[in-house]
Amino acid sequence: RKEVEQDPGPFNVPEGATVAFNCTYSNSASQSFFWYRQDCRKEPKLLMSVYSSGNEDGRFTAQLNRASQYISLLIRDSKLSDSATYLCVVTLSGGYQKVTFGTGTKLQVIP
Amino acid sequence: GAVVSQHPSRVICKSGTSVKIECRSLDFQATTMFWYRQFPKKSLMLMATSNEGSKATYEQGVEKDKFLINHASLTLSTLTVTSAHPEDSSFYICSAAEAGRNTGELFFGEGSRLTVL
């Protein structure tokens, strides 16, 4: 089983739609969780951290479920500019020594 | 936000030559930098963790003699692909974590696309 798994997609959704991605992780000792966004042929950029209590940033909502070992990202009112690959990132022990990236989920928002 | 600069962004070399890629944190100090490799339509694969002033920690399956990493200062880490072969062609990205900040956020370089002929 992969350490961090994501549905690769692609998710093709119309503008204005709501879309959700899930990411599962295998190591119960994982401490920190993030969603990064990567545009084609570009470097990943932090979208948001994921906290146990869940957190929201505008149209984006992230949730963490430790019991089931998954994190989710919800995007409301999708924009064309949201088209990208979304990477789930998990770190061990709250530090930087072990950072694992999910395979990424590709989102294509269509007009 | 913090800036990480990676150079060169593209490099084409002949088989058998060595290529050096630099990763610099421009406005912060990074005691730890990471080197990744990304194949087309694949996710980032961590190659090694670069620690300032000490030897890098390589992930399983990554040849340390093939991919030499040096982290001589708090703002610079280098990756040297030695005796490059066509199968080393890939997109290499570095990232850095700001020393003293435990947000977990990583700042990425722009990446270096290596093509070995």
Residues A3-58 have pLDDT tens digits of 899 988 899 999 999 999 999 999 888 888 999 999 987 888 889 989 888 899 99
- Identify the band that residue B16 occupies on the pLDDT scale cut at 50, 70 and 90: very high
- Identify the band that residue B51 occupies on the pLDDT scale cut at 50, 70 and 90: confident
Question: Strand order in A70-75's β-sheet?
Answer: A4-6, A19-25, A70-75, A60-65, A55-57
Residue A76 and residue B106: Cα distance in Å, rounded?
Answer: 25
Chosen from A43, A50, A92, A103 to mutate, greatest number of chain B CBs within 10 A: A43
Alpha carbon dihedral B26, A101, A88, B10, in 10-degree steps, equals: 50
Are A99 and B110 in contact (CB < 8 Å)?
no
Dihedral of alpha carbons A51, A56, A57, A61, sign: positive
* Direct distance between the N- and C-terminal alpha carbons of chain A, in angstroms, rounded to an integer: 37
Residue A56 and residue A60: Cα distance in Å, rounded?
Answer: 6
Closest CA to A4 of A17, A18, A22: A22
Are A96 and B42 in contact (CB < 8 Å)?
no
Greater pLDDT, B25 or A101: B25
Please check the confidence at residue B8 and state whether its pLDDT lies above 90: yes
Tell me the sheet residues that pair with A13: A109
Q: What is the tens place of the pLDDT at every residue in B64-96?
A: 999 999 988 889 999 999 999 999 999 999 998
Residue pair B11/B18 in contact (Cβ under 8 Å)? The answer is: no
Please check the confidence at residue B48 and state whether its pLDDT lies above 80: yes
Residue from the list B36, B44, B104 with its beta carbon closest to the beta carbon of A49: B104
Closest CA to B18 of B59, B91, B78: B78
pLDDT at A67: 93
Give yes or no for A40 touching B (CB within 8 A): no
Q: In a 3-state reduction of DSSP, which class is residue A82? A: helix
Residue A9 and residue A75: Cα distance in Å, rounded?
Answer: 15
Please check the confidence at residue B97 and state whether its pLDDT lies above 90: no
**Scanning every residue of chain A, which has its alpha carbon at the shortest distance from the alpha carbon of B101?**
A95
Q: What is the tens place of the pLDDT at every residue in A79-108?
A: 999 999 999 988 876 555 567 888 899 999
pLDDT at A102: 87
Q: What is the tens place of the pLDDT at every residue in A55-80?
A: 999 999 999 999 999 999 999 999 99
Q: Which residues 6+ apart lie within 8 Å of B5 measured at CB?
A: B23, B24, B26, B109, B110
Chosen from A99, A100, A105 to mutate, greatest number of chain B CBs within 10 A: A99
